[in-house]
A and B are shown apart, each in its own frame.
Chain A
Amino acid sequence: MPAPESNMERLPMNENPAGAHHGNAPQGFPPQNNTLGPMSQGPPQLPPQMFTTAAQLLDLTDKKLVLVLRDGRKLIGVLRSWDQFANLVLQDTIERLYAGNLYADIPRGIFLVRGENVLLLGEIDLDKEDDIPPHIQRASFQEVFELKKKEDGARKVGDKKRHGKLQTLGFEPEHSGEILF
């Protein structure tokens, strides 16, 4: 197994990387006490503070990120602050709407996002940032918004039909009660 590398090694080992988030390290989980027993001999044991939400988000701080929310929104901004629940603060945020082969940007500003709404957080490769796939065209907000409304409506109708059918067969539709795009 290769030794852990990259950002992980630059984490401060002796102090909590999160500073104030001291309670974040999993309690009652000393690094040597791996419940998998013998398997723990394989990979090197990393200090437990590397396996915390805080350590994961520390690497992404002050980077330009795309944040995908549970309602399907895509926000692009700079991550400035966060906590152990993945509550996030984004600065200079734009919202990017996608519909069909079109997209539009809306300047938004500062976002404070509650962690439960986060789907994923991707670091944007600044070299590839402008390589938007060739079939995707920039368009006006109005145009994209109207198209998106139409698409969302069509999807809602389709979902409703599918859920109805599933329910008559005795299935509970997946992630019902929770919006996920």
Chain B
Amino acid sequence: MLFFSFFKTLTNQTVTIELKNDIRIRGTLKSVDQYLNIKLDDVDVLDLDKYPHLSSVKNMFIRGSVVRYVMLPRSEVDIGLLEDATRREAANQAGKAR
């Protein structure tokens, strides 16, 4: 659940999502769920000419399974904290496995 929590801290930030079919979408992260499905507001599709079906879309729900990358604003990510949280999560997992 670490990345679920992480993405929750990024709500209302502008992110760019690249899908597995190469579409790149920039928008405001409105919500995320446990499958990392993502809701974006005020979307802006890069290279819109290639994807005319998205020209009149204002907000969208993206299924987590088709996301390749989420590009985040660097200033909003506390790398040190994320590293700590990752180690803590790993330690928890190791504790559970034993």
Contacts and interface: CB of A to CB of B under 8 A. Distances in A.
Contact of A29 (B1, B78, B81): B1
Contacts of A46: 8, 11
Main secondary structure of the interface of B (DSSP, over half): mixed
Contacts of B53: 66, 68, 74, 96, 98
B82 to A, nearest CB: 7
Given A35-B1, A133-B48, A4 B12 contact: yes
A120 B60 contact: yes
A174 interface: yes
Centre residue among A51, A57, A133 by max chain B CB count within 10 A: A51
A39 B9 contact: yes
10 contacts: A8-B30, A36-B81, A36-B85, A39-B81, A43-B11, A120-B62, A123-B58, A123-B59, A125-B57, A131-B55
Interface residues on B, range: 35 or more
Interface string A40-53: 10110010001111
B37 A43 contact: no
Interface string A110-134: 0000011011111111001101110
Given A59-B39, A120-B62, 16 more contacts: A35-B1, A35-B85, A38-B81, A51-B32, A98-B52, A103-B52, A115-B63, A119-B66, A121-B62, A122-B58, A122-B59, A123-B59, A124-B57, A128-B56, A133-B52, A180-B21
